[in-house]
Amino acid sequence: MASQRNVFAFQKGVILCTILATIAAQDPSVVTDNNATIFGETVDFEFAEFAIQKKVDVYRGIPYAEPPVGDLRFKAPVKKVLTGVYNATHFRPMCPQVIFHVPGMQPPLEAQDRSEDCLHLNVFVPQSLATPAAVMVWIHGGGYVDNAGPSESLYDGSALASVGDVIVVTIKYRLGALGFLSTSDSVSRGNYGIMDQAMALEWVQDNIAAFGGDPGNVTIFGESAGAGSVGVHLISPKSNGLFARAITQSGTAISPTLLETDFEQMNARAHALGSLVNCDVGGSEKLVECLRDVGVEDLVRAQGQVTGIVGDNERAFLPVVDGDIIPKNPADILKDGSFNRVDAMFGANGDEGMYQVYLAHREWANQTDPYVSKEEFEALLQARLYNYGQLENEVLMESIYFMYTDWETAPNPNANYRHGFSQAFGDEMFVCPTETYARAYANSGATVYRYHFTHWPSKSFFGITWSGATHAEDLPYVFCWHCFPRLNWNLTDTEAKLTMNIIKYWTNFAKSRNPNIPDTENTRTDWTEFIMPNMTYLELSTESKMAAAVRATECAFWNDFFPQLKALTDVDVQPTKHTSKASSVCMGTASLVLLSLMVAISM
């Protein structure tokens, strides 16, 4: 290891020979491998509540692929081979996107710079690390359209590295049309963003030993679309062998709006994009050739217009079942067991859908208890729920309405349906697809842990007081945002302890596939494995506890009942316009189909 990791000093200079001459005396933040000398800088990290102070060697903006520009736009990434001396002391530009911004925080300065030359990664190595060390590779979320620039600050790996004694790698990948445009043929197959991620994982396999890491002990983890990406790598044969463990936070490859199974639909969207930038020029080859010459900012603006055409509850450019990277529908892969068998941790949040209420009604941001009427509940279902607004089949929509109406309060004309919508969206999009993954992996013999994050934060990711444990509210705890003064993210003492617990759980799992490594400085709930039929999971909060069968009834509805109902209604019931009357469930042919299926499933 000493021959692989060579530590030198560095005094900043302008001339290369000056750099090489002064590398040998001071700063222990230079790593060499067979191809290049990479120098970064040492930063101080502090977790004040637990008296943790460490120095972390940080290497920023290391390229893992050639810039995907010109003829390389809409093509698989090409491996970057570094030579000579590389300055890894600053972040590189974000991938082209609409700038992501967390309410209540100033956008990081680096978020202002955007470039297609963005395929870089960052490495965080705590000093005095026992080697070879476990490695955690973070894949950011953002709906496959944003979040790659501000993530440099929001997803600083210093806390995980320092508290957990692991090496953390954060990566960027192509987004939107640049990352996922597909013409449904060999001209542009799509999934370029997923290919970028896989190439970054290959870089880790080839180079992380030089940083003191163990290429055989790599955990990939991500949130939202990042978790969806992890879900893709779990089922993609192209990713086999690139990691040993996985953690998904609120997302899977079977989550609605995080995967496109209709290749022809993606082709139509590619041509729709072309028509918006004067590239409506014929077949796939001419279309893509023209799109390669379009200015990147014009392309980003146009892809937003395509999303508007598709609808608010769906993204225009997504990972697609292409027969190669994703060989077939991931749901079928999970059923037949042909996925990559690694140990995994799967989870979601308790109030996932509240952020959708906020996105639909930003004027409610300053309210303390927004009121969602029965009519608004149905409007939100229609606009935001994938399997509601898309289908326009009365019996299907009424089944969802029935499932998520609180019938104990429904007779009250002033009943608030906000919670019902939040649960409907969260179950369909995140919780129940996660359950499918957890069951498939547990049945395969893998070590599986399941969690459900239910803590209502004192400061919300979305800057509102009524969102509960909604989407993304786990991120400040996983990455210890309050440990970084620049983020201005204050927490209570109990939340600081929750942060410590989560970081320990995540990093312990990465190191040993067991989140429960004894820790004399902190007391945590013992977390037992998720196995069938017990289905135990950790309710993750300031008062964590073990429970069983998270959202069991609701997930039986989405994973078993609803698909069978859809299959029946596709044959027996013609699509109709929703009447917004729950009583219609008890009327007509639709009600007979629904009733017969309910009886059949219950027997």
Rg (CA), the chain: 24
**Is 90 an active-site residue?**
no
The whole-angstrom separation of Cα 261 and Cα 227 is 18
Residue 65 is classified by DSSP as: B
Catalytic-role residue among 452, 471, 482, 578: 471
- Whether the Cβ atoms of residue 220 and residue 139 lie closer than 8 Å to each other: yes
Strand partners, 79: 65
Q: Give the tokens for residue 39.
A: 């120098």
The three-point CA angle 168-481-117 to 5° equals: 55
Q: How many CA atoms lie within 13 A of 325 on its CB side?
A: 27
DSSP alpha helix (H) spans, 361-492? 374-384, 386-389, 394-404, 418-426, 432-443, 475-478
Query: Could you give the C-alpha distances from 488 to 26, 365, 482, 564, in angstroms and in order?
Result: 32, 20, 7, 49
Question: Under 8 Å CB-to-CB from 515, ≥6 apart: which residues?
Answer: 345, 449, 504, 505, 506, 508, 509, 527
- Whether the Cβ atoms of residue 178 and residue 306 lie closer than 8 Å to each other: no
Catalytic-role residue among 116, 152, 260, 352: 352
Q: Give the tokens for residue 262.
A: 């209709």
**Is 120 an active-site residue?**
no
- Whether the Cβ atoms of residue 184 and residue 10 lie closer than 8 Å to each other: no
- Whether the Cβ atoms of residue 542 and residue 497 lie closer than 8 Å to each other: yes
- For β-strands 448-453 and 52-63, DSSP reports them as unpaired
Nearest residue to 74 via CA among 238, 196, 189, 198 = 189
The whole-angstrom separation of Cα 55 and Cα 270 is 47
Nearest residue to 229 via CA among 216, 242, 217 = 242
**Is 352 an active-site residue?**
yes
Question: Under 8 Å CB-to-CB from 232, ≥6 apart: which residues?
Answer: 194, 239, 253, 259, 319, 325, 326, 330
CB neighbours (10 Å) of residue 592?
13
Catalytic-role residue among 224, 229, 422, 467: 224
- Whether the Cβ atoms of residue 258 and residue 252 lie closer than 8 Å to each other: yes
CB neighbours (10 Å) of residue 229?
30
Active site residues: 224, 352, 471
